[in-house]
Amino acid sequence: MDSDWLDIGTLNDIPKRGARVVKTARGDIAVFRTMDDRVFALDDKCPHKGGPLSQGIVQGDFVTCPLHNWMISLATGEAQGADQGCTRTIAVRLQEDRILLSWPGLAVKAA
């Protein structure tokens, strides 16, 4: 691996207003695509009771957790409204149509 960015697929692999899962040794990562083709990555774990955020409904820059409907910001991982809690975000970016996930962002490199 010669770069800090991992190519995990193309933009069209994820439906608009949808998400897909990337499996890692440290657990699942949810990679989201918004209506306007921006991508975000979060740990696939709701700060409430660990619900898989990748399975929620994406609206604007938020996802609604499928288990108890908490709203989580895709950009910051923070729960909205009265709910308190935060999910880890992982840097992700688009190069043309490729989705690149930050390798150090996954923090799995041996020290």
Partner 1 sequence: MAERLLIVGNGMAPGRMLENLLEKAPGRYDITIFNAEPRVNYDRIMLSPVLSGEKSYEQIVIHGDGWYINNGITLHKGTKVTGIDRAAKTITTDNGLTESYDKLVIATGSVPFIIPVPGHNLPGVLSYRDLDDVDAMILAAKARGSAVVIGGGLLGLEAAAGLSEQGMDVTVVHIMPTLMERQLDASAGYLLKKAIEERGIKVLTGANTKAIVGNGNGKVEGVELEDGTVIPASLVVMAVGIRPNAALGKLAGLTVNRGIVVDDQMRTSDPDIFALGECVEHRGATYGLVAPLYDMAGVLAKTLIDEPAAYNGSVTATKLKVTGISLFSAGDFAEAKDREEIVLRDAARGVYKRLVLKDNRIIGTVLYGEVEDGAWFFQLLRENADIAEMRETLIFGQGFAGGTPLDPMAAVAALPDEAEICGCNGVCKSKITGAITSKGLTSLEEVRAVTKASASCGSCTGLVEKLIGLTLGDGYAPKASKAACGCTDLGHDDIRRLIVAKELKSIPAVMQELEWKTSCGCSKCRPALNYYLLATWPGEYVDDNQSRFINERAHANIQKDGTYSVVPRMWGGVTSAKELRAIADVADKFNIPTVKVTGGQRIDLLGVKKEDLPGVWADLNAAGMVSGHAYAKGLRTVKTCVGTEWCRFGTQDSTGLGIKLEKFTWGSWTPHKVKLGVSGCPRNCAEATIKDIGIICVDSGYEFHIAGAAGLEVKQTILLCKVETEDDVLEYTGALMQLYREQAHYLDRIHKWLHRVGLDSVKQQIVEDAERRRALFARFAHAQVFAQVDPWAERVKGAFGHEFKPLADLRLAHAAE
- Among 34, 40, 70, 99, which residue interacts with ligand FES (rule: CB under 6 A)? 70
Please report whether residue 49 would count as binding partner 1 according to CB under 8 A: yes
5 or 40: CB nearest ligand FES? 40
CA separation for the pair 111, 33 (Å, rounded): 32
CA separation for the pair 107, 111 (Å, rounded): 10
Q: Which of residues 29-68 bind ligand FES (CB under 6 A)?
A: 46, 48-51, 65, 67-68
SS3 104: helix
**Closest separation between CB of residue 74 and partner 1, Å?**
8
SS3 77: coil
